[in-house]
Structure 1
Amino acid sequence: MAATSNSTDVPDGYNTFIPGTITTPDRVETRIGTPDFTDGFPSDETAAKVFDNLDFMRAVEVFLQCVPPASMEGLRTGLTALGCDAAHKVAIADRLLDSTPLFLTGNTDTVYAIAILDLHRDGPTVVEVPPGCGPGTVDDAWFRFVVDMGAPGPDRGKGGKYLIAPVDYEGDVPDGYHVAHSPSHVNLLLLRGFLVDGKPDAATAMFEGGIRIYPLSAAEDRPTMEFISVSGKAINTIHANDHSFYEEVADVIHREPIGVIDPETRGLLAAIGIHKDRPFEPDERMLDILSDAAAVGNATARAICFQTRDQRAYFYPNRKWKTGFVGSDYRWLDGDGRGGRDMDARTLFFYQATVNTPAMAIEMVGAGSQYALSDRDATGAFLHGANNYRLTLPAGVPAKDFWSVVVYDPQTRSELQTGQRLPSRNSQNASGELAYNEDGSIDLTFGPEPPSERVGNWIQTVPSKSWYAIMRLYGPLKSWFDKSWVPNDIERI
């Protein structure tokens, strides 16, 4: 093997047998410029440049990995601003979740009841779920699944008592409770109630009359439940997309027990100045880096969501409909964990959605829910509000409970704000507005102005804005899972 060296002059008496593949040349062309070395020692300028780049790379990775806790923090602060500052104060969409409040891909067609639990403040917390409750879920501060309630939960929609306790709780548990342990202090409780005769009244009455949330220690002196309407309220529950994103994450880390995340993630956060027991105080240099990293992280998340390169995201080889659960695992473990966690798939979900449960990811015929997203028309072009479109759903839409189609703003990933309070259509057709075709199929239309006929099938768009759609199936049937029923693409007309 020929001897190699970074230096042209080798002193007498020295032999150099250093393979070229393991040396560092004095100058190396890279995407961050041309680092400068002297016999492998980086210059001061090079060291400063690569450390800036290292901080930037880690900050981008923090953005992508920490969308779930930042999103949970956005929900917590938004609901607190609404007045839901205690577990017994429940936000309720008593007039449905319209487009005024900002919620990541919220649903217009179920009655939501939402509470923030704090196990550090209240200790083990009881949640009494009434009979008839639809799908409900508790997620921890990192948006990891804790337990299902209602129809997909152990009470199977018959109602029951749940105890949400810290992971280290060793106290007594009264008989008759479904017990779940959470690694975090803050937890999100979200329950859904179905419409009756197309109206939210019965579900609202069920929740207001049947939900009870209280500390186990206060079982004999329960606080009076309070229900605060979120319908029509201008609140924001979405995480930041600038450098304040990192402040949201730091708040979560400061509040939660250290074991809520693994040492590697704690180390990644510490690398950009986010520590459990220290204030987050980035200097001017770091603030500039964090601002740039948040912009790149946001752009990356948007590309992962709306320009995915993972073909597994598509339900069908010849359609534009995509899943939010790439890999069909609510933990985003690729190949049952043998391939590790699919971080891009997790980002694809959490950048545009909330509430994490197996009932949304796995095959549960007649229970749970399934979701399909489309942001392009049949030609592959992004959907735009200035155009008119048609979506034909073949007869026999595979939903035991109901189906719906809701349109969203890709900027906010919240309901598109149009002249319609509820930018959606669903099969709970109490008013008889929906018109079906003779073969049982249905044509939904989208556009800025109402059509001359079948206005009840029309969803309004905004001429200056793009949009995308999510089709929901509650109680999905076998024909959805075996793909014998296939929705058409959205077609421009």
Structure 2
Amino acid sequence: MLSRLPISRVAIAPIAIAFALTTHAQAQSPKLKMTTEIPDAYTAPDSVETSIGALDYFDGVPSPETVKNVYDYLDTSRAVNVYLNSIPALSVNALREGQAAMGADACHKICIWDNLMDSKSILLTGNTSTMYAVGFLNLLKDGPTVVDLPQGMLGILDDMAFQYMVDLGVAGPDKGKGGKYLVLPPGYKGDVPEGYFVVPSKTSGVWVFMRGYLDKSMPIAQAVPAASKNIRSTLKVYPLSTADAPPATEFINVSGKDMHVILPNDYSAFEKLHGLMQTEPESYLGPEARGMMAAIGIEKGKPFAPDARMKKILTDAAAIGNGAARAISYFPRDPGNLTYKDSDAWVTAYADKDTTFTRNGAYRLDPRVLFHFGYICVSPAMAMTVAGKGSDYSMGMLDSEGKVLDGSKTYRLRIPPNPPAKDFWAITMYDTQTRSQLQTDQQFPTKGSQDKGIKTNADGSMDIYFSPKAPAGQEGNWLQTIPGKSWFIALRIYGPEQPWIDQTWRPGEIELVK
């Protein structure tokens, strides 16, 4: 493939000689005038300045240096495109690798946060308020696989493109009553038994995400083990072929453990993408995406072996892609990602509440990058705001002046009276590097209505402080920051009520105190 050939001095030497001879002959010969004038818009000038340097031509034929520069640019731009468009796949692949590293390397092995998730888990914007349990299906290895779900769960199945497959539990076809889901491999043609919620998959890998809400009628010390017991005692995952004698579901408690499940920012992203492509069917991605990957050396059934030139380009492209993802995440330019149209500080994960990342049938590229770089769990239920049900949230990314939040300084966020949360509200802090919970002396970097120590102002409002040390008298309203690091927050509203939905109630801005 021409774009993958090393463009070296040796490779272009014959072209250079021919180009030099031609330009010399041009200089020695009188130039005849063409009888038909061609507008400049359809020709190439002898030289034109561009962002990648001067592009030189002899009568429209590029010089050797121009050929090299153009191919370098094409390979770089295609690699950046592949990186950004593959962030969803890289993210779900990181979940699979990270869960396997904890021991969850088969469908019947489930990671569970028995003591809730704390900041030890490097997982995109996980919260500290609900019980998580996650697993992975390997349909290539196991064939049709059963997820026997307990009552009272909320969950999702997402494929290896991080695309939505089906909701589990309250938002799913079992309506929270529990039931058996049968997940079928890509192109499955075998018999399908009755008695299951049948879910065809386009990919061999399937991420299983489950969340158990804590019973708010119980003290937290009782609600947490009760939620864990419900999941552990009733959840079963196994290959359909073992239905007569399924393996016991194994639960791995990952609370407080160093679990890393976020996507890479460097050259290794392309290596992991190539590995992922080998486990999935050719139909996994469309021809345009496959062609773009093939242009940089990533193809199913072929080794990934870039030469020194191409590896340098891919390393550069990963750095550019990482920079682009972070610019899009912290300074989004799509207005659909702004929670409030008059504030750049508050950001919503799903632009315009759309989990397909499309508009008029076309992908919205920036919103898709923003979501998958910083968040996980793709389901229409995650973006559907229904009064009194589910949850909704917004991220505070900047201060009231539009500046990046500085961990060495003191900030205040005012929560107006009567937060419109039927169940509860919570503010959780995140690390801008990992988009995971900020690791400080506070195991759970969260404050909210479930905290009994929060002080209320005379008008019913509350002030939450963010600083390295608690302001005097504000220990119960304080979240710790780290000098030399930035941070952002997620404000989650569980059971959002109408004032939140119609924005007649909204939080203040994060204001610099000192």
TM-score, normalized by the shorter chain, greater than 0.5? yes
Corresponding residue for 1:180? 199
1:404 aligns with 2:404: no
CA distance in 2, matches of 1:359, 1:399: 18
2:350 paired with 1:325: yes
1:480 matched to 2:504: no
| Residue type at the aligned position of 2:432 | P
Q: CA deviation at 1:248?
A: 1.2
Q: CA shift at 1:289, angstroms?
A: 0.1
Displacement after TM superposition at 1:415 (Å): 0.8
Give the corresponding residue for 2:398.
376
User: Does residue 1:96 correspond to 2:116, yes or no?
Assistant: yes
- Mapped pair 1:234 → 2:258: yes
Distance 2:106 2:66 in 1: 52
User: Which segment drifts farther, 314-323 or 208-217?
Assistant: 314-323
Give 2:167's match in structure 1, choosing from 132, 148, 155: 148
> Structure 1 residues 227, 482: closer, same or farther in 2, change over 3 A?
same
Alignment of 1:251-330 (within 5 A): 251-319=275-343, 320-330=345-355
Match of 1:344 among 366, 379, 399: 366
What percentage of residue pairs aligned between the two structures are identical?
44
After superposition, what is the alpha-carbon deviation per residue over 1:155-199, rounded to whole angstroms, capped at 9, x for unaligned? 222222212222422433333322222211111111111234224
What is the alpha-carbon distance in structure 1 between the residues aligned to residue 495 and residue 313 of structure 2? 46
Counterpart selection for 2:480 from 457, 460, 477: 460
* Structure 1 equivalent of residue 136 of structure 2: 116
Asked if structure 1 preserves the Cα contact closer than 8 Å seen for 2:277 and 2:300, the reply is yes
Distance (Å, rounded) in 1 between the aligned partners of 2:412 and 2:463 = 6
Q: 1:19 to 1:318 in 2, by over 3 A?
A: closer
1:436–1:165 Cα change, 3 Å: farther
* 2-structure distance, mates of 1:172, 1:392: 58
Q: Do 2:349 and 2:371's aligned partners in 1 also have CA atoms closer than 8 Å?
A: yes
CA distance 1:21–1:250, shift in 2 (3 Å)? same
Are the equivalent residues in 2 in contact too, given 1:151–1:368 (CA < 8 A)?
no
Other-structure match for 1:422: 444
User: Where does structure 2 lack aligned partners over 5 or more consecutive residues?
Assistant: 1-25
Name the SS for the 2:259 alignment partner. Answer: coil
Aligned partners of 2:334 and 2:366 also within 8 Å = no
| Deviation (angstroms), 1:126 | 1.0
| C-alpha distance in 2 between matches for 1:161 and 1:436 | 46
What RMSD, in angstroms, separates the aligned Cα atoms of the two structures? 1.8
State the alpha-carbon separation in 2 of the partners of residues 370 and 88 from structure 1: 31
CA contact (8 A) 1:152 1:367 kept: no
Comparing 62-71 and 453-462, the one that deviates more: 453-462
- The SS at the match of 2:241 is helix
Preserved contact between residue 186 and residue 204 of structure 2 (Cα < 8 Å): no
Amino acid at match of 2:359: D
Give the distance between the partners of 2:40 and 2:31, measured in 1 at CA.
Answer: 16
Report the Cα distance in structure 2 between the residues aligned to 1:81 and 1:262, rounded to whole angstroms: 30
Query: In structure 1, the residue corresponding to 2:123 is in which secondary structure?
Result: coil
Instruction: Please say if residues 327 and 334 of structure 1, whose CA atoms lie closer than 8 Å, have aligned partners that are also in contact.
Output: no
- Residue 154 and residue 401 in structure 1: after superposition, are their counterparts in 2 closer, same or farther (change >3 A)? farther
Secondary structure at 2:93's aligned position in 1?
helix
Amino acid at match of 1:165: L
Aligned to 1:212: 236
SS of residue paired to 1:242: coil
Which whole-Å deviations, capped at 9, do the CAs of 1:111-168 have from their partners, x for residues lacking one?
11010111111111111121122x3111100110011112222222222221222242
1:58 is paired with a residue whose SS is helix
- The DSSP-based 3-state class of the residue aligned with 1:473 is strand
Aligned residues of 2:391 and 2:496 also touching (Cα < 8 A): yes
Question: By how many angstroms is 1:110 displaced?
Answer: 1.1
Paired residue type of 1:321 = W
Question: Is 2:107 the partner of 1:87?
Answer: yes
Q: TM-score, normalised by structure 2?
A: 0.90
Alignment partners' CA distance in 2, 1:260 and 1:332: 18
Amino acid at match of 1:370: D
Q: Are the counterparts in 1 of residues 393 and 492 from structure 2 also a CA contact under 8 Å?
A: yes
Match in the other structure for 2:17: none
Q: Give unpaired runs (5+ residues) of structure 1.
A: 1-5
- Deviation of 1:476 (Å): 2.4
Note the C-alpha offset of 1:323: 0.5
Is 2:385–2:391's contact at 8 Å kept on the other side of the alignment?
A: no
1:9 Cα deviation from its structure 2 partner: 4.5
Q: CA deviation at 1:48?
A: 1.4
* C-alpha distance in 1 between matches for 2:461 and 2:212: 27
AA aligned opposite 1:173: V
Matching residue's letter, 2:205: V
Shift of 1:454: 4.2
The ranges of structure 1 where at least 4 consecutive aligned residues each deviate by more than 6 angstroms after the TM superposition are none
**Structure 1 residues 396, 180: closer, same or farther in 2, change over 3 A?**
farther
Name the counterpart of 1:28: 48
Distance in 1, Cα, partners of 2:457 & 2:175: 35
Between the aligned partners of 2:317 and 2:126, the Cα distance in structure 1 is: 28
AA of the residue aligned to 1:126: V
Which of 1, 11, 32 is residue 32 of structure 2 equivalent to? 11
2:249 matched residue in structure 1: 225
Shift of 1:311: 2.5
Give CA-to-partner distance per residue, 1:342-382, whole Å, 9 cap, x none. 01110011111111111122333333332201111112221
From the superposition, tell whether residues 35 and 464 of structure 1 become closer, same or farther in structure 2 (CA, over 3 Å): same
Q: Which residue of 2 aligns with 1:3?
A: none
Greater shift in the superposed pair: 397-406 or 70-79: 397-406
> Which one-letter code corresponds to 2:495 in the other structure?
G
Please give the secondary structure, in 2, of the residue aligned with 1:34.
Answer: strand
